[in-house]
A and B are shown apart, each in its own frame.
Chain A
Amino acid sequence: MNALTKFSLLVQGRFGRKRLRRIGLGSIPFIFLLTLWQMNTTFEWLAPVFIPSIGGVIDAIFILQSDCGGVWDILSLDNTCLMTTHILSSIGRVLLAAVIGIPLGIIFGILAGMNRLISTVLEPVGVFANSISGIAWVPLAIVWFGVGWMTTLFIMLNTVFWLMFFNAMLGTRGIAKVYEQSVLTLGGSRWNIFIQVYLPGAMPSIITGMRMSLGFGWRALIAAEMIGGDSGLGFMIFTAAEEFNVEQVFLGVIVISIIYLATDHYLLGPLEKWTIHRWGLTWKPT
C-alpha cells in the first residue's frame, strides 16, 4: 500500500465515501462554468463589458477596499472600505430585523394559535401582508421614512414578522391538546405551557418560518436597497450597474449568494438538527 492509497483511504474514512462522491460529482458543473467563464475572457466571445474576467472580479475587491485602513475602519463602516461596509450594513439590517422580528412574530403567532379571537383578527391581516410582496412596500416606506436605513429595515422587518407569525400560528395549532393538558395536570401555569409546550411544539414550523424569512427577506432586502437604500449590497450592485461597472456587479451577486447559502447551511441547518431532529418531530411543509 503506497502513501497515496493510504491518504485516499484516510480521506474517505474521514468524510465518508458517499459524501465524497457527491462532493466530487457536484463540483463538476461549477468547475465547468468557471472554465467556460475563463475561456470567454481568453477567446473574447463576449465583450468584457458584458462578462468581466475572473481576475477583474477579484480585482474589484481590492479596488473597493483600496484605502481601507484596517479592522477599525471596516467595523466603523468607513467609506474607504466600501465592500465590507456594504456587506456589513446589509447583514446588520438582517440581524436587526431578525432580532426584533423573529421573537415578535413567534410571540404573536403562538398567541394567535392559542386564542381564536386573536387569530380571527390577525389571520386575515397576515394573509394580506404576506400577499403584498416585500418589494411592493418600498414606495410607501420611502414616503414614510425617506430613502435610507429605515426604509430597508422596515421592508425586511415586515417580511420577517409576518412569515414568522404565520408559521408559528400554524405550528401552534398543530400541537396535540394532550401535551397542554398533561402540563396543566402536573401543576403548570399558562406561562409554563407557553414556554414548555407551545414554543418547542411549534419549533418545526418556526424553523421553516426562519428559512422562509431568510429566503424572502434577503431577496426583498436586496431589492429594497436597490430602490430605496443608500448602502448595502443591493445598493452596491445597482449603482455599479448604472456606471457599467460589471466587475463590481458580478462580485456583488456572488457575495449575495454566498452569504445566503452560508447562513442557510451553517445557521439554520444546525438549529434544525439540534431541535426538531433530536426531538424526533417530523418536518411539516407549510
Chain B
Amino acid sequence: MTAKLVVQGLSHHYPDEYTGVSVHALDDINLEVNDGEFVAIVGPSGCGKTTLLNILAGLLRYREGNATVDGKKIDGPGPDRGVVFQEHAILPWRTVAGNIGHGLELQKIPRQERQDRVAEYIELVGLVGFEDRYPHELSGGMKQRCAVARTLCADPEIMLMDEPFAAVDAQTRITLQEELIRIAIATKKTILFITHAVDEAAFLGDRCFVFSRRPGRLRETVHINIPRAERNWGDIAANPEFVRARDRILALVREEVIADDR
C-alpha cells in the first residue's frame, strides 16, 4: 500500500484573534494516510484538529515541517484535496446541480461531460429530483449530501472532512454515516475525517488517530479491523472489534479531557 498523504514534523503557532498572543496549536505531527484508506482523527475540542485540516486543505500556511500529497508539497488550496466543511458551505445562490458541478466548472470541464458527472454523483448521494432546488429548500442532511457530492465530483486525490455531520440531527447522522461508508466503497477515495464523536470515529475509520489536548500531538493510533461491508449500525454494536476500538478511543479522549480540566 502506498502513502497518499504524508505529514512530517508539522508544528504550528498562530496569533490569537483577540489578544494577539501566540498560540501553540500543533506540535510535531507525523502521520501517513494510505491510498484508499479511511482515517478518522479524534481529539478533545481545541486540540488543533481543524488547524491541521486547514493546513492540509492549504487554507493555512505552515512553516515548520512538511506535508505532501502524492509526494507534492502542499502549498495553497487546490482541487487535488477536496474539503467538506462543517455546515452551510454550499453556495446558497447555486442550485444543487450548480453546486455539485462547481469544481468541474472551475476546472473548465466541457458542459456535456460536466452534466454527465453531476448526474452520476446526484444519483450516488441520493439527491435525484432535487437538482434544481436551492440550498435553503433542502434539509440539513440533504445539504451535507450535496456538500459531499460537490467535493467528490471534483475528483480529488483525498477528501478532507471537518466534522461534517456535527450539525445534523441524530437520526440523519446515522444514515449519513452509513451512506458515507457506501460511498467510500463505491469510489475507493482516500478520506481523512475529523470528528469529536468517538462512536463516529470507530464506526467510520480503518484507523483512528487520537490527538492530545493543545498543543495537539498524535497520541495513539487505533486500528479498527472491520471490513467495510460489515459496517452498519444494525450489526456493528455487537462486534467485539468495534467495542474494543471504541472503548480504547473513549479512554484516550477522556484522559485528555480530564487532564485539561485540572
A176 lies within 8 A of chain B by Cβ: yes
Q: In chain A, residues 171-229, which have Cβ atoms closer than 8 Å to a Cβ of chain B?
A: 176, 178-179, 181-188, 192, 196-197, 200-201, 203
Q: A185 and B58: CB pair below 8 A?
A: yes
Q: Which of B58, B89, B107, B154 has the most CB of A within 10 A?
A: B89
Q: Closest CB-CB distance, A268 to chain B, in whole Å?
A: 18
Q: Please tell me if A118 contacts chain B, counting CB pairs below 8 Å.
A: no
Taking a contact as CB atoms under 8 Å apart, the answer to whether A186 and B154 are in contact is yes
Q: Which residues of B contact A186 (CB under 8 A)?
A: 79, 82, 102-103, 106, 150-151, 154
Is A14 engaged at the interface, CB distance under 8 Å to the other chain? no
Judge whether A281 is part of the interface by a CB distance below 8 angstroms.
yes
From B130-138, B165-173, B190-198, B208-216, give the one contacting chain A: B130-138
CB <8 Å contact, A185 and B107: no
If the complex has contacts A278-B134, A279-B93, A280-B134, are A183 and B106 also in contact, measured as CB distance less than 8 A? yes
In Å, the complex CA distance between A253 and B135 comes to 45
- What residues on B are CB-neighbors of A176 within 8 Å? 88
Q: Is the interface of B mostly helix, strand, loop or mixed?
A: loop
Measured CB to CB, the closest approach of chain A to B198, in angstroms, equals 25
- Measured between alpha carbons, how far is A188 from B151 in the docked complex, in Å? 13
Contacts of B83 in A (CB 8 A): 181-182, 185
Task: Give every chain A residue within 8 A of B90 (Cβ-Cβ).
Answer: 182
Interface size on A, residues (CB 8 A): 22
- Which B residue sits closest to A278, measured CB to CB? B134
- Across the interface, which residues of B come within 8 angstroms of A192, CB to CB? 106
User: Could you say which residues of chain A place their CB within 8 Å of the CB of B85?
Assistant: 178, 181-182
| A184 CA to B59 CA, complexed, in Å | 8
Q: CB-nearest residue of chain B relative to A181?
A: B59
Assess whether A184 is in contact with B91, with CB atoms less than 8 Å apart.
no
**Also in contact, A184 and B77, with CB within 8 A (given A176-B88, A178-B85, A280-B137):** yes
Residue of B nearest to A189 (CB): B106
- Specify which of A187, A203, A275 is in contact with B103 (CB 8 Å cutoff): A187
Also in contact, A281 and B59, with CB within 8 A (given A186-B103, A187-B106, A188-B106)? no
Could you jot down 9 A-B contacts, CB within 8 Å?
A178-B89, A182-B83, A183-B91, A184-B58, A187-B79, A187-B107, A275-B93, A279-B93, A280-B92
Not counting A181-B77, A279-B92, A279-B134, a sample of 15 additional A-B residue pairs whose C-beta atoms are within 8 angstroms of each other reads: A181-B83, A182-B89, A182-B91, A182-B150, A184-B58, A184-B59, A186-B106, A186-B154, A187-B106, A187-B154, A192-B106, A196-B102, A200-B93, A279-B93, A280-B136
